[in-house]
Structures are given as structure tokens and as C-alpha cells.
Amino acid sequence: MGPIMLDVTGCELTPDDKELLDHPLVGGVILFSRNYYDQKQLAQLIAQIRLAARNQVLIGVDHEGGRVQRFRDGFSAIPAMGAIYQQGAEDLTKAQHYCKTFGWLMAAECLAFDIDLSFAPVLDLNGVSDVIGDRSFHSQPEPLIQMASAFIKGMHSAGMKATGKHFPGHGNVKEDSHIAMPVDKRSLEQITQLDMQIFTRLNEMGLLDGVMPAHVVYPEVDDMPAGFSKVWLQTYLRKKMQFEGVIFSDDLSMQGAAFIGNFAARASAALNAGCDMVLVCNNPDAAVQVIDSLPSNLPDNPRLAKLVKAPSADFRALAKTDDYTSALRTLEAYYNQ
């Protein structure tokens, strides 16, 4: 499975899409709202992707809930994670029940269309960051850990692996790394005790299958953004935390990656720092540049294969199950309370 995850143009594959998917370095495809018209079309598109890809590919999507949910019509409206605690009357046990149910529901619906991964959950604290905001479960580590662990257990019970983001924490910088280069000037001790303990604890619980680092610079630790930093990815994530799962780069098209250089340089820097797979989104020319810049005979990465989804029912079969009916009832009760 190759180290590049890219996107495709629209609701069906173009000849250019098919040519890119046939490259041996392509190991993943990420879907966006522009790739979705209805359920039938989505199923056909994913079948086309699987057919066109030379190798097995991971198919992913950002389907967190709230404002970050790529498929709407025909899919359940998963709430923003940041709304669940308040909606559950600040009862943590109730919030955990909602989180587990919604984690299962989100994952089960994606899996029913042969999607391997939703890049979830967000493990950032709800601090000063507008781009994180209500994507975060909570502003404090302890309730966040309790709610996120329940959400991940729901995902796992459906058959989907979990990817925590954005390591070591994006919630304490104001700038949006999609359009700027955020800098978090806190000490390592502050970051470790607050943001990073969330990732550490969930990893100790065996719940993190993947991690996506932040396009944020933490100058007290390293001058490189976390996703391009051997200090963060090797010294802390791999060695100190003993994380053994997949490290995904965040999108190399984001402004937070731009100062590294062109797309070839960004991909090379991320892979050299320790990323297992790099994401190149919304820029087909950049995807070509990255593909052309890397050796085409890179060895397969065995970590990536561990994220392939478990066998699952298609949507019609899923919709007939008691678990699905029960989850929809819980979702309805959540919105109606």
C-alpha cells in the first residue's frame, strides 16, 4: 500500500483520476462533499475507485459530525462533538452514551459504502482555535478523554479504526492552519500536561489506530511543524508514547505546510519525519508532483494495511438491523430533548 492519499475530481472518475489511481505509490483516496450526490452514486464511485486503483487503497473521509460531515442527504446528521456535553445536561455518563452511539452510527454508515476510515475523532481541546471550536468534545482533558474514548469504542464496535487529530494539540493557537502558519509558544511541560495527555492516555488504553499531527509550530520543542518534525513524531510519539499505529500527514496543500517548500519537498519532509502516509488534496497538479518526486518502488508499509475496514453490511442490510434502529432512536432523542 503506497504512501500517498489523494482525492478525485467529482461524482465519477475522470481519465486523469484513473491514471493517478493506477500509480503504485497511491495507497489512499480521500472523499469530499463534491464527490457525493446520493447513495447510489457514492457506491458506484467507490467501486470505480477500487477497480481503477492498481493496489489496495484506503478510502477515507472527514465525517466527524457537525460542520465537518461530507455526506448529508441520506446520512444521519451526526451532531458536533462539542455540543454533546451541554445537550446531555452536562451529565458525563449520558454524554458518553451519546458519543459511543454516534461513533458507531457514523462509522457504520461509512463502512456500509466500503469506506475504510473517517478521520475522527478530533482530540484537540476547545480553546482559542476557531477552526477547532465545537469540533472538540470539551475544553478540559478529563471529560474530553472520557467522551472521545466512548466515541472510539463505538467506531471500533462498528469495524472502523480511529485516527486522533491533531497531535500534539491544535486548540491553543488562534490561527487556522488551512490559511496560516500557527505558532504555539507554550513550554513542552504545558503542552504535555494539557493537550498531549489526551493522546497519551488514549494510546495507553489501546484506542488510537492512527494519528494526524498538526500543521502547528511549537518553537519551545522544535522549529518544524509537528507533521514534519522528527522530534514530535519519532522522539515523542513513537519512542516516549510508544505509539505503533499509522501517522497521517495533514493535507500538504494547507498553508501550514507551505513554508517547507514545494509539494515534493513537503511530501519528502513529512515521510522523512515519520509519516506513513501523506495527504495531497484539492490540487491534482500537486499530487502529480509528489508522485513524480518519489521512488516508485518504495516498499509496502505494513502499518497501513491494519487500517483496512472490517467486513460490513451494505446500507440496505445495515438499515434493517436492530442496532441501527436503536442508534437512530438515540439520535432522535438527542435532538428532541
Which positions are catalytic? 178, 250
- Could you tell me which of 178, 164, 196 has the C-alpha nearest to residue 130? 178
247: enclosing H helix or E strand: strand 246-247
Tell me the C-alpha distance between 166 and 121, whole Å. 9
CB contact set of 257 (below 8 Å; sequence gap of 6+): 215, 225, 227, 228, 249, 250, 251, 266
What crossing angle do the helices spanning 197-204 and 141-158 adopt, rounded to 10°? 40
Tell me the C-alpha distance between 37 and 221, whole Å. 44
DSSP tag of 95: H
**Is the Cβ–Cβ distance between 91 and 105 less than 8 Å?**
no
Instruction: Name 213's bridge partners.
Output: 167
**Is the Cβ–Cβ distance between 171 and 140 less than 8 Å?**
no
DSSP-derived 3-state class of residue 264: helix
Tell me the C-alpha distance between 171 and 130, whole Å. 8
User: What is the torsion angle, in degrees rounded to the nearest 10, for the CA atoms of residue 258, residue 132, residue 45 and residue 25?
Assistant: 40
- Could you tell me which of 164, 266, 273 has the C-alpha nearest to residue 222? 273
**Using alpha carbons only, what angle is made at residue 214 by residues 208 and 219, rounded to the nearest 5 degrees?**
125
331: enclosing H helix or E strand: helix 322-336
Go through the chain and tell me how many residues it has. 337
